[in-house]
Amino acid sequence: MKIPLLLLQAGIAVLAAPLVSGFVRRVKNALRMRQGAALVQPYRNIAKYMRKEEVVSETASWIFRWTPSVVLGSTLAALMFVPVFSFSLSAAGMGDVLSLFFLFSLGRFFLALAGLDAGSAFGGMGSSREMFIASFVEPAAVLAVAVVAAHSSSSAAEPLVRSMGMSFSGMIAAASLFMVVLAETSRIPVDNQETHLELTMIHEAMLLEYSGPSLAMLETAAHAKQLIWFSLLGAILWPWPIGSSSGLSAVACAAFFVLKIILCAIVVGLTEIGLAKMRLFRVTDFLGLAFLFSVLALVVSGLGY
């Protein structure tokens, strides 16, 4: 019974994910008094890439060809572990919230290799920067989730969120997770999605050699990954009403979910507008702070707050 529902949930989430990116852009453009692209522009982009021919570098190996599938596949699998609307595979005993990070790492690993594989100078720079940043992102993210796990004495995603409720340590963990989300969704102050300057890119630099349907897959994966992070952040900041036991109908759950994502998107948009991008090596300070918050949250939760 659960499996088809889970697939349905994941399917809806993937289809809706580009809308979130479109929305963040709308928020930013409204603040800049710009007309900007339509809300559905990310869909148009994906549709455009699907129609386009694919060009593959002569030096590229199978890694380059297979990476889009691995990245999209692992992101979709990750989507299963997050209680987006209501259900989580973790409840079905197939893994817990830590699997999420492993799945992300798998995608990242392949993407970094693919960046090098194409043989362009920019890909290599992107890969090295991505791994550099990942080494700071992952500990902070895992620890932030560990705080929540400590509350429920379980690392399974569904009871984890359900049992939590608002807490002081949860708030601190959310602060840490927010910084992680900015880094993981390639946003200012860590990365800049809007830039055309190859030399400053991080995530985009790894994708520079991709075109056509492969690029469409990678972009879809990036949208989905962003949705996962937003929903995780939302779940920790406002833990209700997730899970089937909350007594609310699925429709109400979904409505709350959408509300949370919108709030996240607005906050992210505001942050991006208000800040300049950091110098690359300053990112360590930024993510170091996130790690510190995570540790602090863990201590506070150990004290019972």
Partner 1 sequence: MKTFMGVIEELRAQGVMIVETFELHPDEVVIRLKLEDFHRACLFAHKTFSSAVMAMFAADERVAKNAFEIYCVFLARDFQKWCIFTADIPQDRPLFPSLARDIHSASFFEREIQEMFGLEPQGHPDKRRLHLHDEVWPKGLFPLRKDFVLPAHVAPDGVYGFNRVAGEGIFEVPVGPVHAGIIGPGHFRFSAAGEPIVNLEIRLGFTHRGVEKVFEHKTFDDAVGLAECVAGDTAFGHSWAFCQAVEKASALKVPARALYERAICLELERLYNHFADIGGIAVDVGFSFAAQFASVLKEKILRLNQRLTGSRYLKGVNRIGGVRRAFSRQDIQALLCEILSVCDDHGELKQMLLASVSFMDRVDDTGVLRQKTARDLGIVGLAARASGIAVDLRKTFPDVYAGSDFRMITQERGDVLSRLRVRMEEVDESARLIIYFADRLADIEGALAANFSLAAPACALGAVEAWRGPVLYWVKVADGQIDRCKIVDPSFHNWPGLSFAVLGNIIPDFPVCNKSFDLSYAGNDL
Binding site for partner 1 (CB under 8 A): 28, 31-34, 121-122, 124-125, 188-189, 192, 194-200, 272-282
Least distance from partner 1 to the Cβ atom of residue 128, Å: 8
- Nearer to partner 1 (CB atom), residue 5 or residue 121: 121
Least distance from partner 1 to the Cβ atom of residue 196, Å: 4
Least distance from partner 1 to the Cβ atom of residue 25, Å: 11
Least distance from partner 1 to the Cβ atom of residue 272, Å: 8
- Nearer to partner 1 (CB atom), residue 16 or residue 273: 273
- Nearer to partner 1 (CB atom), residue 138 or residue 191: 191
Q: Which residue has the tokens 């928020």?
A: 27
Least distance from partner 1 to the Cβ atom of residue 34, Å: 7
Least distance from partner 1 to the Cβ atom of residue 286, Å: 10
Q: Which residue has the tokens 């999209």?
A: 72
Please state the φ and ψ torsions of residue 182, each to the nearest 5 degrees. Answer: -60, -40
Peptide bond into 213 cis (omega under 30): no
Instruction: Count other C-beta atoms under 10 Å from residue 124's C-beta.
Output: 17
Closest by CA position to 46, among listed 224, 266, 261, 268: 224
- Is residue 207 within 8 A of residue 290, CB to CB? The reply is no
- Nearer to partner 1 (CB atom), residue 128 or residue 163: 128
- Nearer to partner 1 (CB atom), residue 25 or residue 151: 25
260, 219, 88, 3 alpha-carbon torsion, rounded to 10°: 130
| Cβ-Cβ contacts under 8 Å for 187 (sequence gap 6 or more) | 193, 268, 271, 272
- Nearer to partner 1 (CB atom), residue 62 or residue 281: 281
Structure tokens at 213: 């349907």
**Amino acid of residue 201:** M
| H or E element, residue 18 | helix 2-31
